[in-house]
Amino acid sequence: MKKVIIFTFFAAALYACSGGEGKKETASAKPATPAVDGEKIYKTYCVTCHGIAGDMGASGAFNLQTSVLPLEERINVITNGRKAMTPFKDLLSEAKIKAVAEYVEKLRH
């Protein structure tokens, strides 16, 4: 009997120390959609012609450091291409294109 009382006491103490809470599922516990990384996409697809800093100009690529195009026009150029630039509409999603267009603004001086 003494062993049962001691066991019950330790079991209760262990439960009390654990907080007695299991994992609670809440709406915020759902995994969030990962943010689209414009810099990573730029480094994957754009550095070959524009360079890491946006000023390389290979194959006639525009200098992105001095570009004055507004966001919507940058999105249009990335989507549909222009002159020697390849269109990316069949390669990148709209979200990825927008992320790259927003990142390019950070290259401006």
What residues pair up with 82 in beta bridges, in sequence order?
85
Question: Residue 76: in which H helix or E strand, if any?
Answer: helix 71-80
CATH of 38-105, one of 3.30.930.10, 1.10.10.10, 1.20.120.1760, 1.10.760.10: 1.10.760.10
pLDDT at 109: 79
Per domain, the residue ranges of the chain are 38-105
Entry pTM: 0.67
CB 103 within 8 A of CB 36: no
* More confidently predicted of 9 and 42: 42
pLDDT at 79: 98
pLDDT at 13: 46
